[in-house]
Amino acid sequence: MDLLKGKIALVTGASRGIGNAIAELFAQNGASVYANARKIGSLDSLLAKCENSSGRIMPLYFDVTDAAAAKQAVMRIKKESGRLDCLVNNAGIMPDALIGMIDQKVAREVFEVNVFAVMELIQLAARVMVRQKSGSIINLASIVGVNGNKGQLVYSASKGAVIAMTKTAAKELAPAGIRVNAIAPGMIDTDLFRSVGAEKVSGLLRNIGLGRLGKPSEIANAALFLASDMASYVTGQILGADGAALV
Amino acid sequence: MNHSEKYEAAFVSALGISKDDLPGLQYQGVAAWDSIGHMQLIFALEEAFGIMLDTSDIIDLSSFEKGKELLRKYDVEL
The interface predicted TM-score (ipTM) is: 0.81
For the stretch B6-21, pLDDT in tens is: 999 999 999 999 999 9
* pLDDT in the model for residue A193: 82
Q: Is residue B37 pLDDT above 90, yes or no?
A: yes
Higher-pLDDT residue of A203, B31: B31
Work out the pLDDT band at A58, boundaries 50, 70, 90.
Answer: very high
Contacts of B32 in chain A (CB under 8 A): none
If one compares A89 and A246, the residue with the highest pLDDT of the two is: A89
Scored b (16 or more CB within 10 A) or e, B41-75 reads bbbbbbbbbebbbeeebbeebeebeebeebbeeee
Contacts of A78 in chain B (CB under 8 A): 46
B52:A71 CB<8 A: yes
Closest CA to A57 of A16, A10, A17: A10
The CATH code of domain A8-189+216-234 reads 3.40.50.720
In chain B, what are the domain boundaries?
3-74
Counts of helices then strands in chain A (DSSP H, E): 10, 7
The pLDDT assigned to B28 comes to 96
CATH code reported for the domain at B3-74 = 1.10.1200.10
Looking at residue A102, its pLDDT comes to 92
- Cβ-proximal residues to A8 (8 Å cutoff; 6+ apart), any chain: A31, A32, A34, A77, A81, A83, A84, A85, A86
Tell me which residues of chain B have a C-beta less than 8 Å from any C-beta of chain A.
35-36, 39-40, 42-44, 46, 52, 55
Q: What is the residue extent of each domain of chain A?
A: 8-189+216-234
CA distance A130 to chain B (A): 6
pLDDT of residue A197: 81
pLDDT per residue as tens digits for the range A74-97: 999 999 999 999 999 999 999 989
Q: Tell me A215's DSSP state.
A: P
Q: What positions of A carry a catalytic annotation?
A: 155
Mean pLDDT of chain A: 96
